[in-house]
């Protein structure tokens, strides 16, 4: 472990100043620049920083550009909001949820976290308003923004490769579209990144079939039910389909509900892998094999990175990917 003397030598400040700061001496008065440099040096040298030294209350704006009703229907984003609120409460972080940037006093915030879809004008406004901002779940402009997001390319690639290894070659995908609270219909068409990954993998394997692409209007159970009904009717008329990769559990639950309504055998016939591992996934018929995304870890990591950006004035942009874990259930068992 690094010593106080080493931190003082590298940071350029006296051992007394370093020691008092790292031991949270309330009588010590130093500039933010001095404090940040000492903390950055201590962190670089892996010096164990006391919680009271490293953390202070920050005001964070949370830009949640999702329609509230769609958010409730899409369990993933509902859980994401819940986790943000709980983490802020646990860590004594002052967060304010903002749906619209207009007529807002943004100068009081130390940084911001953004979730959802923002158009080009909004992105410019966000980049101008906040010195420190981090996106959760996606990154609209990696050149200008940092993000923490699930590794959806890994999940898509693994799912398709598992299907192929089982000699399942007629592989389809069910995907949705994203919504935006700033449009009258609360919907805006934006390609799901999983679709792009899927197309690339399947094309490379010479297996891509456009007839097995099913686009839902969003990521809700009701949209999944509509697509499931379409798939069931096509299967009854001879559609060659062995497996489905479905972009979210909500969609997958709707698909399974529709298949079961028309014929339970159809639901058992298809191999299905989804993403999210929502609580309902274990209780579908058959139970849903899905990638678990640790939302609480995603949120904790996001706040930690935003804290570092604010504290150390880090202006470099980076994308941090969190790898999801496949939870095997009946729609694709581990030992088939």
* Cα gap 335→259, rounded to integer Å: 24
Would you call 98 exposed, middle or buried from its count of C-beta atoms within 10 A (0-12, 13-18, 19+)? Answer: middle
Q: ∠ CA(209), CA(210), CA(213), 5° rounding? A: 105
Alpha-carbon distances of 34 from 12, 173, 304, rounded to whole Å:
10, 54, 21
Q: CA nearest 114: which of 154, 150, 147?
A: 147
Looking up tokens 């500039």 gives 31
Residue 159 tokens read as: 């799912």
Q: What is the CA radius of gyration of the chain?
A: 24
Alpha-carbon distances of 317 from 120, 126, 281, 312, rounded to whole Å:
18, 15, 35, 13
Q: Give the pLDDT score at 234.
A: 96
The one-digit pLDDT tens for each residue of the chain (336 residues) are 688 889 998 889 998 988 888 887 778 887 767 887 888 788 888 887 765 444 556 899 999 886 555 554 567 888 999 999 999 988 878 999 987 777 788 888 999 999 988 888 889 999 999 999 999 999 999 999 999 999 999 999 999 999 999 999 999 999 998 765 555 555 555 678 999 999 999 999 999 999 999 999 888 899 999 999 999 999 999 999 999 999 999 999 999 999 999 999 999 999 999 999 999 999 999 999 999 999 999 999 999 899 889 888 877 899 999 999 999 999 999 975
- Edge-first strand order for the sheet with 146-150 is 94-98, 59-65, 111-116, 133-136, 146-150, 319-322
* Cα gap 88→68, rounded to integer Å: 20
Q: Give the pLDDT score at 91.
A: 80
Q: Give the pLDDT score at 72.
A: 47
* Other Cβ atoms within 10 Å of 138 Cβ, number: 19
* Other Cβ atoms within 10 Å of 277 Cβ, number: 23
CA atoms within 13 Å, Cβ hemisphere of 223: 21
User: What distance, in Å, lies between the first and last C-alpha atoms of the chain?
Assistant: 49
* Other Cβ atoms within 10 Å of 287 Cβ, number: 17
Residue 193 tokens read as: 């990144």
Q: Give the pLDDT score at 180.
A: 57
Classified as helix, coil or strand, 111 is strand
* Cα gap 6→196, rounded to integer Å: 50
Dihedral sign for Cα atoms in the order 313, 314, 317, 320: negative
Q: CA nearest 180: which of 218, 142, 144?
A: 218
Q: CA nearest 224: which of 241, 204, 244?
A: 244
Q: Give the pLDDT score at 295.
A: 94
Q: Give the pLDDT score at 334.
A: 93
Compute CA 227 distance to the chain's CA centroid, rounded to the nearest angstrom: 24
The count of residues in the chain is 336
State the pairing for strand pair 289-292/325-327.
antiparallel
Q: CA nearest 313: which of 127, 115, 110, 155?
A: 110
* Cα gap 226→122, rounded to integer Å: 33
Bridge partner residues of 150 (DSSP): 322
* Cα gap 31→38, rounded to integer Å: 11
């Amino acid at each position: 472990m690094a010593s106080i003397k080493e931190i003082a030598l590298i940071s350029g400040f006296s051992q007394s100043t370093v020691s008092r700061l790292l031991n949270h001496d309330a009588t010590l008065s130093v500039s933010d620049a001095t404090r940040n440099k000492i903390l950055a040096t201590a962190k670089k040298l892996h010096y164990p920083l006391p919680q009271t030294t490293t953390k202070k209350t920050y005001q964070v704006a949370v830009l949640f550009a999702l329609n509230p009703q769609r958010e409730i229907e899409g369990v993933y984003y509902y859980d994401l909001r819940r986790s943000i609120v709980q983490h802020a409460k646990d860590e004594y972080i002052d967060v304010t949820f903002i749906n619209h940037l207009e007529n807002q006093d943004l100068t009081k915030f130390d940084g911001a976290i953004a979730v959802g879809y923002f158009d080009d004008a909004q992105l410019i406004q966000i980049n101008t308003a906040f010195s420190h901002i981090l996106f959760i779940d996606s990154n609209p402009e990696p050149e200008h923004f940092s993000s923490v997001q699930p590794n959806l390319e890994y999940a898509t690639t693994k799912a398709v490769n598992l299907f192929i290894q089982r000699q399942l070659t007629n592989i389809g995908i069910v995907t949705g579209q994203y919504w935006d609270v700033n449009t009258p219909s609360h919907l805006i068409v934006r390609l799901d990144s999983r679709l792009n990954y899927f197309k690339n993998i399947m094309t490379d394997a010479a297996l891509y079939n456009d007839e097995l692409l099913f686009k839902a209007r969003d990521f809700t159970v009701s949209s999944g039910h509509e697509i499931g009904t379409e798939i069931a009717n096509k299967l009854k008329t001879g559609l060659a389909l062995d497996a489905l990769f479905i972009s979210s559990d909500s969609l997958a639950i709707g698909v399974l509900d529709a298949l079961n309504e028309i014929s339970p055998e159809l639901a058992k016939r298809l191999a299905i892998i989804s993403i999210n591992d929502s609580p309902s996934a274990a209780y579908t018929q058959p139970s849903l094999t899905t990638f678990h995304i640790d939302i609480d870890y995603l949120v904790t990591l996001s706040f930690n990175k935003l804290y570092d950006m604010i504290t150390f004035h880090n202006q470099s942009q980076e994308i941090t990917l969190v790898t999801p874990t496949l939870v095997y259930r009946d729609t694709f068992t581990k030992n088939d």
